[in-house]
Chain A
Amino acid sequence: MRLLTHNLLMCNLKTCAGQNFPLALQANEISEENTEFNLVLTQKMLGKLDWKAFHRVADSLGHTLPEELTPEDQNNDELMQRLHHLLFNIVVLSGTLTCQSCGRAYPIDKGIPNMLLEDSEEA
């Protein structure tokens, strides 16, 4: 699971409204890929990103980012390269995503987050 995908996932329980996003990430195993810097895709992604959630998850992995992203930041090459690396190159192979509201934990195994609910939770 890449951090860009973390930015799309929330607690799947219907009863869990409100603080179901973002999920807290506990990363047990991370691989860092080395894809070429892609400014166009990084800028496109920033238009979609929930920055607060991304800021928080990056922080939990020890990467401090600016609290807010200004339009000028989009031309800051060094920052854009860092964001590209964080969004596209960091792959969480195993760990857990935990809802900050209800505490439901979703495992990540072999790089795939498992958002499936048990039959008893499906209602």
Chain B
Amino acid sequence: MAVNLKHITKNDRQQVYPPSQDTFLLIDSVVSDLSYIQQIDPCFVIEIGVGSGAVLTTLAMNQSFQSVFIGVDINPKATLLAKSTLELNNCKNYDIVNGDIFRQKGFFNKIDVIICNPPYVITSKEEFEECQKRKDISSSFAGGEDGREFIDKLFDFAYKALSDKGVMYMLFEEHNGSFPGKVLSEQRVGCEGLAVIRMGKEQIREALG
């Protein structure tokens, strides 16, 4: 059963990154890898930058593994929209947190699956920092130098937050570079070369350099 997103209004789309081609590439890639997630038998699945909630809701609707689903976003409007998406699709065992993920030290060593479609668009360092401060839709795309500033912080956080068996599913764009892990899918969307990768804890450590 596909996730119902009909409640998302034009106004929402101006304030929260709406379900887009990269969103669906991430959904399809993670869903194609469900047998791997089942094998991990996760307790906590978190999505960093939950946005509209489309990805997290799709996973929470899936009955093939028993887990708790937590979505975190810095944009208050996104947390409200994600919550209504989860509610509308009758999900259970979920929670939403409004905050800066990189300050959530209480997550360390507890998370089994991290999902993230990070801000990967190349901008100046200043624009990246400014957008993170604004805590609005701009924080969902401005990625700083090489579109890597958020991604590099994400690797550092993921390495600390993941349990030993934990994995991260991350979408990225070819200008961000290449990363150790299993590439699950690749797709060209306009001028962007998108890919979704699954990285284990060791591969994340390797990416940290």
Given contacts A5-B70, A9-B104, A119-B133, contact A45 B43 (CB under 8 A): yes
Asked if B67 lies at the interface with its beta carbon under 8 angstroms from chain A, I say: yes
Count of residues in B whose CB is under 8 Å from the partner chain: 28
Taking CB atoms, residues of chain A closer than 8 Å to B133 are 119, 122
List residues 1-15 of chain A with CB under 8 A from any CB of chain B. 1-2, 4-5, 7-10, 12, 14
Stretch at the interface among A54-62, A63-71, A72-80, A110-118: A110-118
| B96 pairs with A111, CB closer than 8 A | yes
Chain B contacts for A28, CB-based, 8 A: none
Q: Are B99 and A41 touching (Cβ within 8 A)?
A: no
Interface string of B69-85 (1 = CB under 8 A from A): 01000101001100100
B174 within 8 A of A: no
Question: Which of B41, B100, B105, B133 is the most central at the interface, judged by chain A CB atoms within 10 Å of its CB?
Answer: B105
A33 to chain B, nearest CB (A): 7
Indicate whether A44 sits within 8 Å of B105 (C-beta atoms), given known contacts A111-B96, A112-B79.
Answer: no
- The SS class assigned to the A binding surface is loop
Select B44's contact among A48, A112, A116, A119, beta carbons within 8 Å. Answer: A48
User: Do A8 and B80 touch (CB < 8 A)?
Assistant: no
**Contact (Cβ within 8 A) A112 B83:** yes
A41 near B66: Cβ-Cβ < 8 Å = yes
Name the contact of B97 in the complex, choosing from A5, A21, A38, A45 (C-beta under 8 A).
A5
Expressed in whole angstroms, the Cα–Cα distance for A84 and B16 within the complex equals 33
Report whether B66 and A40 are in contact in the complex, using a CB–CB cutoff of 8 Å. Answer: yes
Which residues of A line the B interface, CB within 8 A?
1-2, 4-5, 7-10, 12, 14, 21, 33, 35, 38, 40-41, 44-45, 47-48, 88, 110-117, 119, 122
The 7 closest A-B pairs by CB, nearest first: A115-B99, A12-B103, A5-B95, A10-B106, A8-B106, A44-B43, A41-B66
Q: List 7 additional contacts besides A1-B95, A41-B43, A48-B44; criterion CB under 8 Å.
A: A5-B95, A44-B41, A45-B43, A111-B83, A113-B98, A115-B100, A116-B74
